[in-house]
Amino acid sequence: MIIDGKQIAKKLRISIADQVATLDRKPGLAVILVGDDPASAVYVRNKDNACKEVGFYAEKINKSADITQTELLSEVERLNKDDKIDGILVQLPLPSHLDANQVIEAINPNKDVDGFHSENIGKLMQNKAYLRPCTPKGVMTMLATTGIDLVGKDCIVVGASNIVGRPMAMELLNARATVTICNSKTQDLPAKLKQADVVVAAVGIPKMIQGDWIKEGAVVIDVGINRLDDGSLAGDVDFDSAQQKAAWITPVPGGVGPMTIATLLENTLTAYKAREEK
Ligand code: GUN
């Protein structure tokens, strides 16, 4: 069966919009885009549109690719102090002359709706999570809709990035699964995947994971979004062959992608509520 991320994300956005309609002040999200990478520009536009759709206050801030580290840090500082803003997101990757880690650490952890600040990552590791990285959290929401009990299940995350692989593994561990983190260099990945009840692919290599690597009845979550030479999009999983084996599988596009954005809205609402309660 297909896990319809588009549909699950839509439900989540409707529930958020319903909550926003009851609030005196609009939750505010600021998204900073540095430079003009076309893929990043599309993501930022989608985030901005999603904010408007649910009734948030949204600030889309475009900075030129030659902005200095100091200028970018003072922009973050300005947003930290801005009472209209509950969430701050700096779209990654940043141009190579900028230190992304220092920028992330400059964001007030209570406004870090990406969940990338070391304080939020630390809380996730302690299973006391507050603001959790959007893509892995969105995957957990998708897994919940299947009704599958993750306790004790063998889960493999392929990819170990700070944005997806590492926090994804921690989410699954927090759900009391048995978690293995692999990467593109893992020895005999097919044999390892063959044991997995749940596979999360976040390695960034189009169609790398083949159907005959998948255990019969497994759940396959494809986080990859790769642009092929013909302009079409492909995940990290070879969907056609994997679909023959999996009990549940996510498509690309229309799988994890919409969930990341809906979860960003969810995190912004969480950050808003926490600030209002103070
Ligand atoms: N680039 C790719 N994914 C993400 C994300 O979830 N957040 C940010 N800030 N940048 C990204």
31 pLDDT above the threshold of 90:
yes
Q: Does residue 92 have its Cβ closer than 6 Å to ligand 1?
A: yes
Report whether 33 contacts 63 (CB < 8 A): yes
Full-model pTM: 0.98
Burial (Cβ within 10 Å: 0-12, 13-18, ≥19) of residue 157: buried
The whole-number pLDDT of residue 38 equals 93
Question: Do the domain assignments include residue 268?
Answer: no
Domain ranges, residue 56:
24-108
CA neighbor of 13 nearest in space, from 188, 269, 232, 238:
269
Triad 165, 171, 176: Cα angle to 5°: 125
- Whether residue 211 sits in one domain with residue 176: yes
Residue 114 alpha carbon to ligand 1 centre in Å: 7
Mutate to test the pocket of ligand 1, among 163, 166, 226 (most ligand atoms within 8 A of CB): 163
Residue 195 alpha carbon to ligand 1 centre in Å: 30
Q: Does residue 112 have its Cβ closer than 6 Å to ligand 1?
A: no
Q: Does residue 263 have its Cβ closer than 6 Å to ligand 1?
A: no
CATH code where residue 249 lies:
3.40.50.720
Question: Do the domain assignments include residue 16?
Answer: no
pLDDT band at 144 (very low <50, low <70, confident <90, very high): very high
278 pLDDT above the threshold of 90:
no
**Helix (H) and strand (E) counts in the chain:** 10, 10
Please name the residue ranges forming H helices in the chain: 5-20, 38-53, 69-81, 100-106, 118-125, 134-146, 165-174, 189-193, 239-243, 256-277
CATH code where residue 66 lies:
3.40.50.10860
Q: Does residue 89 have its Cβ closer than 6 Å to ligand 1?
A: yes
Cα gap 139→255, rounded to integer Å: 9
244 carries an active-site annotation:
no
Q: Does residue 205 have its Cβ closer than 6 Å to ligand 1?
A: no
- Whether residue 185 sits in one domain with residue 90: no
Q: Are strands 178-182 and 198-201 parallel, antiparallel or unpaired?
A: unpaired
Question: Do the domain assignments include residue 275?
Answer: no
Question: Do the domain assignments include residue 29?
Answer: yes
Express as a percent the part of the chain with pLDDT over 70.
Answer: 100
Which value, in Å, is the radius of gyration of the alpha carbons in the chain? 19
- Whether residue 78 sits in one domain with residue 159: no
**Catalytic residue selected from 86, 112, 114, 197:** 114
- Whether residue 96 sits in one domain with residue 154: no
Sign of CA pseudo-dihedral 55, 140, 200, 166: positive
- Residue showing tokens 């997995």: 196
- Whether residue 139 sits in one domain with residue 104: no
Residue 273 alpha carbon to ligand 1 centre in Å: 23
Cα gap 11→9, rounded to integer Å: 5
- Whether residue 243 sits in one domain with residue 188: yes
47 carries an active-site annotation:
yes
Q: Which pLDDT tens digit goes with each residue over 84-130? A: 999 999 999 999 999 999 999 999 999 999 999 999 999 999 999 99
Cα gap 122→184, rounded to integer Å: 26
Q: Which pLDDT tens digit goes with each residue over 196-247? A: 999 999 999 999 999 999 999 999 999 999 999 999 999 999 999 999 999 9
Question: Do the domain assignments include residue 235?
Answer: yes
243 carries an active-site annotation:
no
**Catalytic residue selected from 86, 91, 153, 238:** 91
Question: Do the domain assignments include residue 116?
Answer: no
- Whether residue 143 sits in one domain with residue 97: no
153 pLDDT above the threshold of 90:
yes
Q: Which pLDDT tens digit goes with each residue over 64-80? A: 999 999 999 999 999 99
- Whether residue 194 sits in one domain with residue 237: yes
- Whether residue 145 sits in one domain with residue 103: no
Q: Does residue 196 have its Cβ closer than 6 Å to ligand 1?
A: no
Which residues, in sequence order, are CB contacts of 142 under 8 Å at separation 6+? Answer: 3, 5, 8, 221, 250, 255, 256, 259
- Whether residue 225 sits in one domain with residue 177: yes
Residue 244 alpha carbon to ligand 1 centre in Å: 31
**Count of structural domains, the chain:** 2
- Cα–chain-centroid distance for residue 189? 24
- Residue showing tokens 């293995």: 180
The whole-number pLDDT of residue 249 equals 98
Q: How much is the mean pLDDT over the chain?
A: 97
